[in-house]
Chains A and B, each alone.
Chain A
Amino acid sequence: MSLTEKDKAVVKALWAKISTHADAIGGDALGRLLVVYPQTKTYFSHWPDLSPNSPSVKNHGKTIMSGIALAVSTIDDLKSGLQELSEKHAFKLRVDPANFKILSHCILVVLAIMFPKEFTPEAHVAMDKFFCGVSLALAERYR
């Protein structure tokens, strides 16, 4: 299910509209992940406060979205573009790749909340495919 030229165009167009809100999107998505999928809290046991509006969560949401921004800019070759991040997730963070899917879902939910008009079914399918591609590229160096 690789990205067609149309998918890439839709992703880039949507990103252009939403990127100014990237920090808020990231913070909300991560906060939501920790509440909806409590098992993900195991990766953040070193944070003092795991509640949705905590500084740690907001900050880390920004970090995640800068990774997404990188993915958008390297959308023509996600494997190369995200290689360094893949190595980080594989060898340092050791995040189970199943979690990429549920974080992707949380980001999509936030997009639906914040941009109900723009997040049409066509935008949804392109973003879903994009996040699948990002998740795959992030898992590339695991084994």
Chain B
Amino acid sequence: MVEWTDFERATIQDIFSKMDYETVGPAALSRCLVVYPWTQRYFGNFGNLYNAAAIMGNPLVAKHGTIILHGLDRGVKNMDNLKDTYAELSVLHSEKLHVDPDNFKLISDCLTIVVASRMGKAFTGEVQAALQKFLAVVVSSLGRQYH
């Protein structure tokens, strides 16, 4: 089981409670599709992903970005049991969506960058460490049911 310090718990709750999911989700997913274009393989039916502008303006990408962030929300509310929280989603990503689990790290990095750009100086090294630790555990939980 993961041990969270008081600071880490408070930081994660703080970041997500203040987050605008409808902005951050789309920003993180679209950034991921631009910076790591091979991730587009999972979104073949999303229409125009031809260039960065198209990706960033694509409503299906935006909608899915928000869905992903609401998925993270589950973890924020269950930090002491991330493994079980994400068991079902892990099976989904493995068996149905066939997503290479390495991709989870890529979108985590993009989310970190988006959160950093919005928080500015408040995104200290300690805050970054807490967010990256949380995302790393989520990523690990999502990869657990792959076989």
CB pair B121 A113 closer than 8 Å: yes
Q: Is A35 an interface residue, CB under 8 A from the partner?
A: yes
Between B35, B56, B120, B123, the greatest number of chain A beta carbons within 10 A of the residue's beta carbon is seen for B35
Q: Is the interface of A mostly helix, strand, loop or mixed?
A: helix
A-facing residues in B78-121 (Cβ within 8 Å): 109, 112-114, 116-121
Closest residue of chain A to B31 (Cβ to Cβ) is A121
Stretch at the interface among A65-73, A77-85, A89-97, A104-112: A104-112
Contact B116 A113, beta carbon cutoff 8 Å: yes
Residues of A within 8 A of B120 (CB): 113, 116
B129 contact from A35, A122, A124, Cβ within 8 A? A35
Do A109 and B52 have beta carbons less than 8 Å apart?
no
Nearest chain-B residue to A128 (Cβ)? B35
CA distance A35 to B119 in the complex (A): 18
Decide if A113 touches B30 in the complex (CB within 8 Å): no
B44 within 8 Å of A (CB atoms): no
CB contacts (< 8 Å) of B128 on chain A: these are 32, 35-36, 109
Of residues 5 to 60 in B, which have CB atoms within 8 Å of A's CB atoms?
30-31, 34-35, 52, 55-56
A13 sits at the interface (CB 8 A): no
Given contacts A109-B112, A113-B117, A116-B118, contact A32 B35 (CB under 8 A): no
State the CA gap A35–B133 with chains docked (Å): 12
Q: Interface size (A, Cβ < 8 Å)?
A: 19
Contacts of A121 in B (CB 8 A): 30-31, 34-35, 52, 55-56
Identify the closest chain A residue to B119 (Cβ).
A113
Q: How far is the CB of B109 from chain A (nearest CB, A)?
A: 7
> Of A31, A105, A116, A122, which one neighbours B34 at CB under 8 angstroms?
A122
- Extra pairs beyond A108-B113, A109-B128, A119-B113 (14, CB < 8 Å): A32-B128, A36-B125, A36-B132, A105-B109, A109-B112, A109-B116, A112-B113, A112-B114, A112-B117, A119-B117, A121-B31, A121-B52, A122-B34, A124-B31
Q: Which 7 A-B pairs have the closest CB atoms?
A: A35-B125, A121-B34, A116-B117, A112-B117, A32-B125, A112-B116, A125-B35
Give B contacts to A, CB under 8 Å: 30-31, 34-35, 52, 55-56, 109, 112-114, 116-121, 123-126, 128-129, 132
A-B contact pairs, 13 of them (CB 8 A): A35-B125, A35-B129, A108-B113, A109-B123, A109-B128, A112-B114, A112-B117, A113-B116, A116-B120, A121-B30, A121-B55, A124-B31, A128-B35
